[in-house]
């Protein structure tokens, strides 16, 4: 199996068994966004301990890339501080997904990151 196939397999596994899926019963911040082109949406819930993400969950529905993105990103973000995540860029998100993403699927790939940034810094990406 080549590297791209391995990454694709990992992504599909996150889609089939998303980590941190579901609304948290207690949370400090939340935000949601939709992809205007397809109507898919992601909502994220975060509990903070000082500046650190103590717990994080996401909910929503969407394509394999957007849902796997929510799963992978919440796994990555858990336990990190707001400061540590400041520099996590769109390029980093694409690298985390590990697959080639076409221009038309970029919005899917970056949906979860946009919601996370909105939660942490109140920054909504343009749509
Ligand atoms: Fe809707 Fe991917 S097709 S987010």
Q: Which of 34, 66, 68 to mutate to test the pocket of ligand 1 (most atoms within 8 A of CB)?
A: 66
Residue pLDDT, tens place only, 5-50? 888 999 999 999 999 999 999 999 999 999 988 989 999 999 999 9
What does DSSP say about strands 52-61 and 29-34: parallel, antiparallel, or unpaired? unpaired
Q: Are 80 and 68 in contact (CB under 8 A)?
A: no
pTM of the shown model: 0.92
Query: How many angstroms separate the alpha carbon of residue 39 from the centre of ligand 1?
Result: 7
Query: How many angstroms separate the alpha carbon of residue 16 from the centre of ligand 1?
Result: 16
Would you say residue 126 lies in a domain? no
**Which of 84, 67, 82, 73 is CA-nearest to residue 17?**
67
Residue pLDDT, tens place only, 56-66? 999 999 999 99
The count of domains in the chain is 1
Task: Give the separation between CA 18 and CA 70, rounded to whole angstroms.
Answer: 8
Q: Check pocket membership of 63 for ligand 1, CB cut-off 6 A.
A: yes
- Per the structure, the complete domain to which residue 56 belongs is given by 3-120
Q: Domain of 41: which CATH number? A: 3.90.1010.10
Q: Are 10 and 101 in contact (CB under 8 A)?
A: no
The closest residue, in CA terms, to atom 2 on ligand 1 is: 108
């Amino acid at each position: 199996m080549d590297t791209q196939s391995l990454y694709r397999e990992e992504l599909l596994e996150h889609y089939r068994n998303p980590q941190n899926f579901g609304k948290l019963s207690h949370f400090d911040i939340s935000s949601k966004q939709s992809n205007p082109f397809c109507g898919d949406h992601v909502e994220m819930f975060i509990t903070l301990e000082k500046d650190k993400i103590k717990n994080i969950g996401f909910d929503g529905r969407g394509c394999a890339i957007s849902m796997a993105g929510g799963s992978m990103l919440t796994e990555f973000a858990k336990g990190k501080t707001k400061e540590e995540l400041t520099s996590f860029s769109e390029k980093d998100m694409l690298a985390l997904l590990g697959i080639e993403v076409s221009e038309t699927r970029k919005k899917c790939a970056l949906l979860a990151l946009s919601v996370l940034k909105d939660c942490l810094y109140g920054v909504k990406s343009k749509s």
